[in-house]
Amino acid sequence: MPVNPKICATLALCFWCSAISAQSYLQRIVVVDKNEILKALPAYGDALEYLEEREKEWKRDEEERCRVRDSVKERLMIRRVVMADEDVAREERRCEMMSREIDSVKMARYASGGEYEREYERVVGPIERQVRREIEEYATRNKVSVVIDKSDVGVLYVDKYSDVSAAIIERVKRNYKKE
């Protein structure tokens, strides 16, 4: 009896679909909220508070630099009519140099790879790495294939059994070590 190619194709498709279904069934996917995990750690709050204080210091420094520059500009405007041209030019160059210095300081602090980024990595980086290690260890121990961070991804629904943030928070609190 000849083999019907349609039956063979249908059987192959059924076998393939069941293999895919079995494979996806074996994959365990869980969801965490990394922001909630971090917020649960006092060290994270302390690190953010430190960064906020640093930013306030930098802002005060920038404001002081701008006040000095602005006072030089104001003095120049008032005295311009009685000053020699070369003195006016010198003061204008001084104001321009002060403006460039202010811009340079801002860039050094806030640009990519700048002081803020380095400070963030120094004080928050170790905490984030610890959380990541705990998540990875949890996933390995519980045979989890995929961990989705719902704070970074547009997750629309998660059932309460898939969100393992509470378990990670407990692990991190128990195992957190300052680096």
Instruction: Determine the number of helices (DSSP H) and then strands (DSSP E) in the chain.
Output: 7, 2
CA distances, 39 to each of 13, 36, 48, 167, 173 (Å): 48, 5, 10, 14, 11
- Its pTM stands at 0.69
Total residue length of the chain = 179
Backbone angles phi, psi at 58, to 5 degrees: -65, -40
- The pLDDT of 69-75, averaged and rounded, is 94
Decide if pLDDT at 159 tops 80: no
Decide if pLDDT at 25 tops 60: no
Average model confidence (pLDDT) across the chain: 84
Give the pLDDT band (50/70/90) at residue 3.
Answer: low
Q: How far is CA 98 from the centre of its chain?
A: 32
Decide if pLDDT at 2 tops 90: no
Distance from C-alpha of 172 to C-alpha of 131, rounded to nearest angstrom: 6
- The pLDDT of 55-67, averaged and rounded, is 97
Pairing assessment for the beta strands 146-149 and 29-32 based on DSSP bridges: parallel
Distance from C-alpha of 110 to C-alpha of 102, rounded to nearest angstrom: 12
